[in-house]
Chain A
Amino acid sequence: MIQLKTLLNCIDNSGAAIVECAQIIGQKRHASIGDRIVVVVQKQRSANADGMAGAGAPKVKRGDIRHAIVVRTRQPVQRRDGSVVRFDDNACVLINKAGDPIGSRINGVVGSELRKKKWSRILSMAPMQA
């Protein structure tokens, strides 16, 4: 249930750590896994953050406005077969206007709803999916 002002973890190596949702693209409701949103980078990842070794120079700075894909939500998401998945945090991955990920790797689990929403680039970058 990502809406205006929701703070999300950014789990790629683009340089952003915490981003704030500014708008949901393409729909009037709250965003769920696989939805595209506009975010404002609120906190930059420090140079040697855990799990992001060799990230190099951060590609985004604090205050940048970027597009992102929601990959995890605290709100339970129901699947076609009746199973439900719920994560402990809200997380997203930054993308550019064309839809390609800004970072080159993803650190953490992502929801497999991305497959249905045709974000296979992000899925293939993720270490695991649930």
Chain B
Amino acid sequence: MNAAPLARRPLGCLKATLRQTRHQRLLVRHMATEASQTTSKPPVQHGFYPITDPKKKTIRTAFAVYPQGTVAGVKNASPPPSNVLQALHEAQIKRLDPTGVRTAMFGKNRDAVKPGDVLMITHRRGGEPFAGVVMSIRRRGIDSAVLLRNHLGKIGVEMWFKIYNKNVAGIDIIKRAPKRARRARLTYMRQPKHDMGSVENLVFEWKRTRKVFSTAKSAAGAGGKNAKGAKAAKKK
């Protein structure tokens, strides 16, 4: 078809070759797998490729090339361990509580804190330490928290504290419950009939006894270090 007009129109030749290349490109695009098998693969440089904005000199967008085998669904990738979450929680607890004091403090042993005990929690961010009766303990691995209730100027205040929080500088046991509480959550303490009221006098008493039994130096650092505070409280 093209042979006859070729002589008259030399540009037609160019047109034909262009059409041919276009067809070839289409073929490659449609049969990408086929084409890649035939052509030699360029070496994959895996890494992070930022594309910077020439005007602002900031990263406009970026993409990452991962080594082969990391794509989801690849057969040869090893299956994840069965208890991933548990392992993660353990690793996080180990990072945030290297000595294991807080884990022991809120564990399920005899010495552990129980609902009905009175705790004092010191914040690293300054502010008054918050003391209160333990109303419930929420054991959820790294998210473990404790609910304290107190009265601040005739108004009941309840606070949840994460026990593994880095901002929680110290947890001190002010007073143990005289009798084991028969509930896990002492929500009945919100009723006026069962409300313990303020624990301020208990805290005051505790501070006085600490001053008597300890040297001036350690009394000054009371509550500063969690480990020290917890151990001192456990001895009593």
Mark A residues whose CB is within 8 Å of B.
Answer: 72, 76, 81-89, 91, 107-109, 112, 127-130
Q: Is the CB of A85 within 8 A of B159?
A: yes
* Residue of A with least CB distance to B125: A81
User: With contacts A85-B158, A109-B155 known, what are 6 further pairs, Cβ within 8 A?
Assistant: A83-B162, A85-B157, A87-B155, A87-B156, A130-B157, A130-B159
User: Quick one: given A81-B167, A82-B145, A83-B165, are A127 and B159 in contact (CB under 8 Å)?
Assistant: no
Distance of A80 from chain B, by nearest CB (Å) = 10
Contacts of A107 in B (CB 8 A): 153
B79 at the interface (CB under 8 A from A): no
Asked whether A130 lies within 8 Å of B145 as measured between CB atoms, the reply is no
Which residue on A lies nearest to B165, using beta carbons? A81
Whether A88 touches B155, Cβ cut-off 8 Å, given contacts A82-B165, A83-B165, is yes
Tell whether A109 pairs with B190 under 8 Å between CB atoms, given A83-B161, A128-B128.
Answer: no
Say yes or no: A127-B162 contact (C-beta < 8 A), given A81-B167, A82-B145, A88-B190.
Answer: no
Report the interface size for chain B: residues with CB under 8 A from the other chain: 19
Bound-state Cα–Cα, A80 to B156, Å = 22
Q: A82-B145, A83-B160, A86-B159 are in contact. Are A127 and B153 (CB under 8 A)?
A: yes
Residues of B139-161 whose CB lies within 8 A of A: 143, 145, 152-161
Asked if B43 is an interface residue, CB under 8 A from chain A, the answer is: no
- Shortest C-beta distance, B135 to chain A (Å), equals 11
Interface SS of chain B:
strand
Q: Which residue of A lies closest to B121 (CB)?
A: A83
**Chain A contacts for B145, CB-based, 8 A:** 82-83
Task: Take A81-B165, A83-B165 as given contacts and tell me if A128 and B152 are in contact as well, using a CB distance cutoff of 8 Å.
Answer: yes
Distance in angstroms between the alpha carbons of A127 and B152 in the assembled complex: 10
Chain B residues within 8 Å of A82, by CB: 143, 145, 160, 162, 165
B80 CB → nearest A CB, Å = 27
- 10 A-B pairs with the lowest CB-CB distances in the bound complex, closest first: A88-B156, A84-B160, A109-B152, A82-B162, A86-B158, A130-B157, A108-B153, A85-B159, A81-B167, A83-B161
B129 to chain A, nearest CB (A): 11
| Complex CA–CA separation, A76 to B145 (angstroms) | 15
Across-interface contacts of B130 in A (CB, < 8 A): 130
Interface presence of B127 (CB below 8 A): yes
- Contact at A81–B153, with CB atoms within 8 Å? no
- Pairwise interchain contact B155-A72, C-beta atoms closer than 8 A: yes
User: Do B157 and A89 touch across chains, with their CB atoms under 8 A apart?
Assistant: no
